[in-house]
Amino acid sequence: MTTTPRRAAFDILLRIEKERSYADILLDHELTHGTLQGPDRGLLTELVYGVLRRQGTLDHVIDQFASQKCSRLERSVHLLLRLGLYQLLYLDRIPTAAAVHATVELAKTLAPRASGFINAVLRQADRERQNIRFPDPVNKPAAYLAAAWSEPAWLTARWLDQLGREEAEALARAMVEPAPFTIRANTLRTSRDELQARLAGEGITATPCRYSPDGVRVDTPTAIGRLASFREGLCTVQDESSQLAAIFLDPKPGERILDLCAAPGGKSTHLAQRMGNSGTILACDIGARKLRLIEETAHRLGITIITTRPVDGTKPLTDLQGERFDRILVDAPCSGLGVIRRNPEGKWWKSPADITALARTQRAILHNAAEILMPGGTLLYGVCSTDREETDTVIEDFLSEQGEFVVEDLRELFPSHRELFTDRGFFRSWPHRHGMDGFFAARLKRLS
Ligand SMILES: C[S@@+](CC[C@H](N)C(=O)[O-])C[C@H]1O[C@@H](n2cnc3c(N)ncnc32)[C@H](O)[C@@H]1O
């Protein structure tokens, strides 16, 4: 059946609301199996991600101009208003009249009784766009950031606490922008320079990453899976911050490595690369079905030293007790608050209680991993979150209970990357400071 980009965006946004489905999976399905062609495909992606990113601000504006608050609107009416307003306020290339007309036409099918109301709210928002009011930035900074930069207010309150007013706003601004698209050269098969040249031959402009020696930022929008260089295993997709986990764990050829939360395998395969495909990596994950993804990527990249095993890292690792590891990576399950540019729906689903529950899981996994690390061995704990409760606090609690572990100060080990490290020697990247996803890693050494 044929569709339009706005109708397809509405259907996807509705499923995200109703079923908590992921935007990237739904979009991928629509773009692969649907009928949209040419620029309509780009518009669909823009509408879905744009509305999810700006949802907080859009709702703030709706509350100001509609006779009913968002919380009282029917879901379909609410989504149509978000879609229409997003085009009005953020898509310069769509004329106002077209944005209003297309939304009202869609409403005639999806919410016929409300089409007049939607028309009125959109027209008023357009007339009053210069007069949109926001909470006072000085007296109500968390509410201001939440409304102006579309984040949940509990999250902006945490950012303010951690970063102060000015930086919290810089972070909030960065978090509503699209994330860069970064890939990793498979150094078992090519070098970063050769990969860049190869990409250029495929019409793709790319720039070397600043901090990861294996990273390349792709500047030309592209479906990477269709490129011959990707299919030939010359590269894989991975944000620069994630690439730095393997760099900072720094495994050596011949070593025995455990990656305890490994799926879909971005870091396991990078570790294998850094080891020259020599040694062994045991890649575990609680999601047994996801282990296949690690195996598929390893196969595409020509990696042979990874074996996979389903493991729940929160349970005592009795199966692994006999096997001591030289290095362990704990890339723990987390809130993902560092990657909300990529998965903007996630920020609307999380709560402070979720973070506390995740921190409990993170602690349990870390303690279990510590038991099976060789004396003198190295452990890297990482999360794609910058929130203190999942990062410093987990590590400080761990250190207070595990006397035989010490922090290895990353500032001393990687002085050229100094600006990425905290004054405890941990790695913490920020989108607004470093252009990368928000990520945290602490490197620990077992003394005895
Ligand atoms: C941040 S992701 C790991 C990403 C992976 N390291 C990579 O670079 O591709 C966290 C992983 O932890 C896994 N996980 C969640 N709870 C777990 C548990 N109790 N034990 C082991 N793995 C778990 C999830 O299935 C998820 O794949």
User: What does residue 308 show for φ and ψ, rounded to 5 degrees?
Assistant: -115, 155
Rounded Cα distance, 146 and 243, in Å: 31
Classify residue 401: in a domain, yes or no. Answer: yes
Classify residue 418: in a domain, yes or no. Answer: yes
The token pair that represents 422 in the structure block? 């905290």
Residues 286 and 368 in one domain: yes
User: At how many degrees (to 10) do helices 39-65 and 141-149 cross?
Assistant: 140
Classify residue 424: in a domain, yes or no. Answer: yes
- The protein residue whose alpha carbon is closest to atom 13 in ligand 1 is 261
Indicate the annotated binding residues for S-adenosyl-L-methionine: 261-267, 285, 312, 331
Q: What are the distances in angstroms from CA 314 to CA 146, 281, 358?
A: 35, 20, 11
Residues 26 and 119 in one domain: yes
Residues 220 and 157 in one domain: no
Peptide bond into 208 cis (omega under 30): no
Residues 294 and 375 in one domain: yes
State the distance from the centre of ligand 1 to the C-alpha of 314, rounded, in angstroms: 11
Q: Which residues contact 109 (CB under 8 A, 6 or more apart)?
A: none
Is residue 265 within 6 Å of ligand 1 at its C-beta?
yes
Q: Check residue 228 and give its pLDDT.
A: 96
State the distance from the centre of ligand 1 to the C-alpha of 291, rounded, in angstroms: 10
Residues 316 and 277 in one domain: yes
CATH code for the domain in which residue 299 is found: 3.40.50.150
Classify residue 220: in a domain, yes or no. Answer: yes
Classify residue 138: in a domain, yes or no. Answer: no
State the distance from the centre of ligand 1 to the C-alpha of 306, rounded, in angstroms: 16
Residues 289 and 250 in one domain: yes
Residues 254 and 334 in one domain: yes
CATH code for the domain in which residue 197 is found: 3.30.70.1170
Indicate the annotated binding residues: 261-267, 285, 312, 331
Please report which confidence band the pLDDT of residue 1 belongs to, taking 50, 70 and 90 as the band edges: low
Check: CB of residue 159 under 8 Å from CB of residue 171.
yes
Please report which confidence band the pLDDT of residue 345 belongs to, taking 50, 70 and 90 as the band edges: very high
Residues 376 and 312 in one domain: yes
Residue 343: pLDDT above 90?
A: yes
Torsion over CA: 27, 32, 33, 37 (sign): positive
Write out the DSSP string of 320-359. Answer: GTT--EEEEEEE-----GGGTTT-THHHHH--HHHHHHHH
Q: Last residue of a domain, which of 98, 131, 164?
A: 131
Active site residue 209: no
How many domains is the chain partitioned into structurally? 4
Residues 405-432: b if buried by 16+ CB within 10 A, e if exposed: beebebbeebeebeebbeeebbbbbbbb
Per-residue pLDDT tens for 73-121?
A: 999 999 999 999 999 999 999 999 999 999 999 999 999 999 999 999 9
Check: CB of residue 64 under 8 Å from CB of residue 131.
no
Structural domain that includes position 226: 181-237
Residues 282 and 424 in one domain: yes
Classify residue 137: in a domain, yes or no. Answer: no
Mean pLDDT of all residues in 316-341? 94
Rounded Cα distance, 433 and 156, in Å: 17
Is residue 411 within 6 Å of ligand 1 at its C-beta?
no
Rounded Cα distance, 4 and 209, in Å: 37
Best mutation site among 214, 286, 314 for ligand 1 pocket (most ligand atoms within 8 Å of CB): 286
Q: Last residue of a domain, which of 237, 253, 280?
A: 237
Q: Does the ipTM surpass 0.90?
A: yes
